[in-house]
Amino acid sequence: MPETHIIDGKRIAAEIRDEVRVDSMRFREAYGIQPRIVFILVGNNPASEVYVRNKGITAEEAGFSHETHKLPANTSEEALLDLVRSVNEDSRSHGLLVQFPLPQHIREERVIELISPAKDVDGFNPINAGRLSIGKGQYFAPCTPAGVIEMLHREGIEVAGKHAVIVGRSNLVGKPLALLFAQKNSHANAVATIAHTGAGERLGEITRTADILVAAMGAPLAITADMVKEGAVVVDVGMNRIEDASKKSGFRLVGDVDYDNVKLKASAITPVPGGVGPMTIAMLLKNTLLAAERQRRS
């Protein structure tokens, strides 16, 4: 078997960010409009703070303006909803991202449903999800699933007619990714299956049928080599911390795939970190520019 191809998500994401930066500059020169994204962060979750800060940095690099509203953890649900309404109504802002998770007293579904579909660059609003499910109308696809499809396309990995198995049924990755794989277009047209832990002992039987296997269950090293067909393309969406006494931090990052062993069977595989993760932010920028273009025409 030829040497396994390691898919460099960092390189592909950098290409997309460069393209967005050039297109953003042209958009601003043509219409005098600077794409703008607003972030809302509630509480003091260190990981969320890092995510939002990194998103702000990449937005600036793309030529966008941005603003982050940092709210205390005891912010009421209604106060957060009022802020979302004000951003919805602000014609200068084109994208809105509320960083999850939220404090337990705030219902995430209420926040998601209130975000304007036109500014929902994360693609979580039910209207965007519904339009994605039927493949019609203007919508934003969630950034991580869209990033997986874009990454495979740019790597020249054939998707049409292949059996894509996604292990994970979340509304953030598993379900929308299956819909994107199944769409009839030049980037997709695959036969998509959603698998999950409910399959029990049959899970390996299902995953071994995959030409393209996507792990998105949030379980460290759960996809082992015996679950993968020889020559499959393996995409690891997971990002987990596990203890590692050899590291100064006391932990290391791993995906949902047993990378070292699975790469011996895969024809192509994404690493963790450096695979799908960078694609998520790149697609967020792409969605924000698209939102600005659509709002200009509306």
User: CA-CA distance, 227 to 225, in Å (whole number)?
Assistant: 5
Rounded to 5 degrees, φ, ψ at 195 are -115, 160
Q: How far is CA 285 from CA 24, 37, 69, 93, 100, in A?
A: 10, 9, 19, 14, 18
**Bridge pairing between strands 65-71 and 36-42:** parallel
CA distance 122 to 141: 7
Active site residues: 55, 99, 122
Rounded CA gap, 211 and 229, in Å?
A: 7
Give domain status of residue 6, yes or no.
Answer: no
> For tokens 């697609």, what's the residue?
283
Which H or E run contains 68? strand 65-71
220 and 258 housed in the same domain: yes
Instruction: Please indicate, yes or no, whether residues 147 and 270 belong to a single structural domain of this protein.
Output: yes
Q: Of 110, 137, 141, 107, which is closest to residue 124 (Cα–Cα)?
A: 141
Give the CATH number, domain containing residue 37: 3.40.50.10860
CA 158 to chain centre: 21
Contact 85, 79 (CB under 8 A): no
Residues 147 and 42 in one domain: no
Domain count, the chain: 2
Residue 85 inside a domain? The answer is yes
- Asked if residue 64 lies in contact with residue 285, where contact means CB atoms within 8 angstroms, the answer is yes
| Entry pTM | 0.95
Mean pLDDT, 10 residues at a time, the chain of 298 residues: 90 98 97 97 88 93 96 97 98 96 96 98 96 94 98 97 97 96 95 94 97 96 97 95 82 92 98 95 97 95
Say if 296 falls within a structural domain. no
**Nearest one of 100, 104, 105 to 115, comparing CA atoms:** 100
Residue 120: the pLDDT is: 98
Structural domain that includes position 91: 31-116
On whether residue 25 sits in a domain, the answer given is no
Instruction: Return d(Cα 292, Cα 278) in angstroms, integer.
Output: 22
195 and 241 in a single domain? The answer is: yes
Q: Domain for residue 65, yes or no?
A: yes
Are residues 148 and 90 part of one domain? no
Evaluate whether residue 229 is within a structural domain.
yes
Per-residue pLDDT at 1: 61
3-state helix, strand, coil in the chain (%, to 5): 45, 15, 40
- Please report whether residue 138 resides in a domain: no
pLDDT at residue 23, rounded to an integer: 98
| Distance in angstroms (rounded) separating the CA atoms of residues 124 and 182 | 19
Tell me, yes or no, whether 226 lies in a domain: yes
Instruction: Give one DSSP letter per residue of 186-235, joined into a string.
Output: TT---EEEEE-GGGGGGHHHHHTT-SEEEE-S--TT-B-GGGS-TT-EEE
Residue 244: per-residue pLDDT: 79
| Closest to 119 in 3D by CA, of 62, 51, 39 | 39
Do 126 and 96 meet the contact criterion of CB atoms below 8 Å apart? no
**Does one domain contain both 108 and 164?**
no
Specify the amino acid at residue 44: N
Q: Are 247 and 151 within one domain?
A: yes
